[in-house]
Structure 1
Amino acid sequence: MGQIVLKSYKDSWHEQVVQLYLAVTAKYKHAIFWWPGPEENHDNVYCAFDGEILVGKGQVQVITIQSQDEAGEYEGTKDGTVESYHQIYMNIKLRPEVSNQEEVFQLLYGALYERALVLAQDLPKTHSVQLCVGNHQAEQENSALFEKCGFTPMYRQYEMEKELNRVQEAPDLQIPELQFIQTALESSDEEQRYLRTESTIWPEYPLGLHRLRQLKGRTDFTSFAALDPDNQLVASVMVCQENEKSGSIEEVFVVPAWRKKGIATHLIRYGLQYLQEKGYTAARLSVQTKNEKALELYQSLGFTISGEEHRYGKDLIKIDSLSHR
């Protein structure tokens, strides 16, 4: 192998990225592979070349941005006792036949780490910044390289899938106190109401406005929700496009006081019906492996496990020092 050269991505290299994807997925069928995306994202994409051959690609992207509410308490925490993070994810993929995998990986990782520090400077200085990665369970060699760089396991999640050729129409659910609605969360008030409730469900990993708007920007986005008599959100399911053939079920939750009443099942069925009407042939979702009740619910709706993703993280910036480690 000759000298490895890193370059920022150019559209003219798209076919080489396709060949990299084919090489990676030939070994790991369900590898977590990121595509470079639009031109404004190209500063976050690095390509490793051995001569004219693309031997690896790395990307970094801000996924979750937390902010402070007007009262000065952190959104995404419950009375300030649980720390939440801004999260920047990275993805590095190498050609399996490359002889010195670790050398190429370290070159890409070093460039992405420095880019992550630049991106972190634009984030609110209210929360620590966490650097994260997600890999399919089979990508053990890639995950081991990240662990050598100080990443530790955060959690695991199942990837689940359901064919949409036989979706039952959502039956009426009679709960007089609740109003069931479909909404695209278009107003700022709706966004804030959603984030307030969602952050109490997952205080360690709240969605945040940045990620919410990323989801809203996806094709065919909508949500199905339940409101109580005070017009407060008690349950929600988001749906959108995953790819040309598959839709995605996202961010399913019901607040504790309203659980075990069939609300989640009801909303998911509406979501599946919506995706089928949009022409999708399958629906996908993710669930943490330790969430056994949710896993049972999804299986009862016809979802089956198609894979397992492992998430890892490490501190990039701590708010007590605002200096990188």
Structure 2
Amino acid sequence: MPNSIAGTYIIRNYRDPDADQISNIDFITMLAYRYNGDYEPRNIFCAVDSEGTILGVGHIVPDPAWLAIEAGGKSDDFVYKLKLDIFLNEEISVPESLPHDLYDHLLSRAKDLRARHRGKCVRISHTIPAVDKKEMDFYISKGFDTHRTHLVMKRDLTKEIPDFPLPEGLIVKRWGMETQAEEEQYLAAEAKGDLFGVSWSLNYLRWTKNGEEWNTFTVFNGNDVAGSVMTWGLGEGRSATENIFVLPEWRRKGIAKAVITEALKFLKAKGKTEATLGVFGDNGKAISLYESLGYRMLAVMLEFGLDI
């Protein structure tokens, strides 16, 4: 249902000229719509009033776990996820029905995508800060429940960063991934190093590469990737240290400590005072590793989901 009237607004699919208004609602989302090919107009819905003002916007976008659905090879109970997000124009008093109508359109679109994959376990997911009870109430009212805890940790870069040597024969490179072959090599390594055997899409990788202050620190054994950490800017003084992985055959050799601290030292030299990362709350080994490197708790995010 690409167009429908609901009270004083219509809900329709995204159009390129909408980006200017959406930038005032959520700037990062606008950038994703413009420059990340994973965000398709048919999966984005805008609520627009009679004067053309966008009152709210929402989208369905593939999670890395969705990207494996065509390739196969996963267990029968593997959960393929689509991420759902809704943003309201906070400068305007919007009708109470609006988020519900946007949600209904998004759910319908998710079910269309799901219908192509009978026999698969498909879930729509949305991640919410643990302090945002109002947003939790909205998704709980739609039948969502919690499926995973995400911890956000921070590292004070004004404090000392220790040295951790790499095993002999390995080196760390700031890897620009300048060709598609290199990008695909990175994504293949990420999938091998991931707990669930999935990676970002090529679209998402390229979008992230174009972001402010992006860098990737990758450990190589010859021409082969052994582990990696990615960084990008999060405003003045703060950067992300994300997409941390080590391939199974290289684990328990100190590679994660070495490459993470290499990235932290780089950020500190650039004048950053804090680095953050996200980690699943049930990944005890990773949490212990990050704490040993000086990361401390910053926030908790809850992943809500609805099986469809």
Please state which band the TM-score falls in when normalised by the shorter chain: 0.7 to 0.9
* Equivalent residue, structure 2, for 1:5: 9
1:180 CA displacement: 2.7
CA distance in 2, matches of 1:275, 1:295: 21
Amino acid paired to 1:300: S
> Would the aligned equivalents of 1:48 and 1:104 in 2 still touch at CA under 8 Å?
no
Listed one character per residue, the Cα deviations across residues 199-258 of structure 1 (whole Å, up to 9, x for unaligned) are 2343536123333333223222222222335x4322111111233442111111223333
Report percent identity of matched pairs. 22
> Would the aligned equivalents of 2:164 and 2:254 in 1 still touch at CA under 8 Å?
no
CA distance in 2, matches of 1:287, 1:240: 17
CA distance in 1, matches of 2:201, 2:241: 18
Amino acid paired to 2:100: Q
Taking structure 1 as reference, are residues 14 and 204 closer, same or farther at Cα in structure 2, changes over 3 Å only? Answer: closer
* Equivalent residue, structure 2, for 1:308: 300
1:135 is paired with a residue whose SS is strand
Q: How do 1:79-118 and structure 2 match up within 5 A? A: 83=78, 85=80, 87-93=81-87, 103-116=97-110
CA distance in 2, matches of 1:223, 1:250: 9
Task: Tell me, yes or no, if structure 1 residue 180 matches structure 2 residue 172.
Answer: yes
* Equivalent residue, structure 2, for 1:29: none
1:100 CA displacement: 8.0
1:310 CA displacement: 0.9
> Would the aligned equivalents of 1:167 and 1:273 in 2 still touch at CA under 8 Å?
no
> Which blocks of at least 5 consecutive residues in structure 1 are unaligned?
19-32, 316-324
- CA-atom RMSD in angstroms: 4.0
Task: Tell me, yes or no, if structure 1 residue 66 matches structure 2 residue 70.
Answer: no
* Equivalent residue, structure 2, for 1:143: 136
Taking structure 1 as reference, are residues 186 and 197 closer, same or farther at Cα in structure 2, changes over 3 Å only? Answer: same
Listed one character per residue, the Cα deviations across residues 162-217 of structure 1 (whole Å, up to 9, x for unaligned) are 2333453x636141142332212233333333333322343536123333333223
> Would the aligned equivalents of 2:11 and 2:102 in 1 still touch at CA under 8 Å?
no
Taking structure 1 as reference, are residues 159 and 89 closer, same or farther at Cα in structure 2, changes over 3 Å only? Answer: same
What is the number of equivalent residue pairs in this alignment? 289
CA distance in 2, matches of 1:261, 1:46: 50
> Would the aligned equivalents of 1:132 and 1:312 in 2 still touch at CA under 8 Å?
yes
1:292 CA displacement: 1.8
> Would the aligned equivalents of 2:192 and 2:248 in 1 still touch at CA under 8 Å?
no
* Equivalent residue, structure 2, for 1:253: 245
Amino acid paired to 2:278: S
Amino acid paired to 1:291: N
1:208 is paired with a residue whose SS is coil
CA distance in 2, matches of 1:209, 1:129: 18
2:217 is paired with a residue whose SS is strand
1:53 CA displacement: 9.6
Taking structure 1 as reference, are residues 204 and 174 closer, same or farther at Cα in structure 2, changes over 3 Å only? Answer: closer
The partner residue of 2:217 within 224, 230, 235 is 224
Amino acid paired to 1:83: F
Task: Tell me, yes or no, if structure 1 residue 37 matches structure 2 residue 31.
Answer: yes
> Would the aligned equivalents of 1:158 and 1:287 in 2 still touch at CA under 8 Å?
yes
Moved over 6 A (4+): 48-55, 97-100, 123-128
Amino acid paired to 1:66: L
CA distance in 1, matches of 2:175, 2:118: 32
Taking structure 1 as reference, are residues 152 and 262 closer, same or farther at Cα in structure 2, changes over 3 Å only? Answer: same
1:175 is paired with a residue whose SS is coil
Taking structure 1 as reference, are residues 286 and 172 closer, same or farther at Cα in structure 2, changes over 3 Å only? Answer: closer
CA distance in 2, matches of 1:50, 1:144: 30
2:30 is paired with a residue whose SS is coil
2:188 is paired with a residue whose SS is helix
> Would the aligned equivalents of 1:5 and 1:49 in 2 still touch at CA under 8 Å?
yes
CA distance in 1, matches of 2:174, 2:187: 17
* Equivalent residue, structure 1, for 2:3: none
Taking structure 1 as reference, are residues 83 and 201 closer, same or farther at Cα in structure 2, changes over 3 Å only? Answer: farther
Listed one character per residue, the Cα deviations across residues 43-86 of structure 1 (whole Å, up to 9, x for unaligned) are 525347699998755344344362589xx655xx5xx667363x
> Would the aligned equivalents of 2:173 and 2:218 in 1 still touch at CA under 8 Å?
yes
TM-score normalised by the chain length of structure 2: 0.73
